[in-house]
Structure 1
């Protein structure tokens, strides 16, 4: 068995060894919580892990930078990777923890390619428009990881709200026996949504990046008093005044379908979504519930 003991953890690099290890938990009817990550772990990831440990007997954390969800090769190459640092971060937690840190060939076996999915149109909105093939890659890797780990519950952050809905849709389509749990966004002191990409920001721009969340709070505050067109114009003007940030998109959508809307209807929920380039090439996303 190729496993490495590290503090309170066992680290596996091969799915067959992981599956063998988890058999004893299943035979004892112990629950398995799962947090899939791409590493570069931060407090946002830890909040998901803590919730999983509270609700399950054992936590499995995957650390895998998935190549099929990157439509930009440079973005894939620049994505931070430091397994030792990630293991140290996880070691701060209390509980039974297993880490799965595979190579691409262990996950994908024959070919590192994506399946093609239909998510009832969810994949065509926002991120789907700007990152072709991204959600096919997300659906593929999450499906594979859920099949490998076979958890009772899997935990995803609401920062990637579109991804959360797509994962729920994929689980329903594939009829996978797992509960998908959405968890609130964790933020830095200035409001910037925690993300592994934040580490690539200069100190000056990272400090200023709270501007993104402040703008979303402004949108939330005027949601019932301004037209959606007025709100969008306001957001665009705010970003035109910021030399360190370039607005890629801003959208107000139905919270369930993610379709962009121009006005609100009673008894429907809405969210605002934003994607921004900071420091030139660091892409940041965020969102907020509006009602």
Structure 2
């Protein structure tokens, strides 16, 4: 018995759920879980179904295409672990959290490799028996360095790429090479506190909330479709070091939650927004 995730993104119309269910029934498939959403403003319909049975993928996709509006986006993914590559620089808190969750079996992923532009995290990564590659950017243009990173990523053919505090601005070429595949995390201080030590700046301003945002990477820096966010409360008793600790903790939680949503095929991109089903 096979288990698949069916994802449908199309114009809304009467009878969609009935027509989809009829095709699934005719193919002797069972719906184990189902979620739907209609955006009234754009007349868009989104559906995620977990289905089981003996599936003939080509036949099923053909029959679904015949009953759905033109230009409907249909994806049928086998429920399995996704291949993942992580990019990192020097900060260990987010990467370490992901590696621990991975070893504990919390993530529906195969982490194929960690690629970094510094050697600092090699020992950490190799403790988990995961390949580590350092591609230094010293003396290289951004484009030349990125070409080497892209080449190395392609060796692993990942379905998801995670930026675990990878402190490099990606070029349009990189984004276009891996569309809707790159997950990033940033703290909530952007764009208010930019540059060196934003936590010191936030402490001086008396910030009361610290948060983090996980999002797809686009050509607009830190403005891609948001997948997950969270916040923690702080007060006047917090030093800037305490604020940094709180910020790092929320970054870990936000990134891991967003990562799991991608691994479970629960994220639809809708313009510059996301629909989570």
Bin for the TM-score computed over the shorter chain: 0.3 to 0.5
The structure with the largest strand share of the pair is 2
TM-score of the aligned structures, taking structure 2 as reference length: 0.33
TM-score of the aligned structures, taking structure 1 as reference length: 0.31
The structure with the largest helix share of the pair is 1
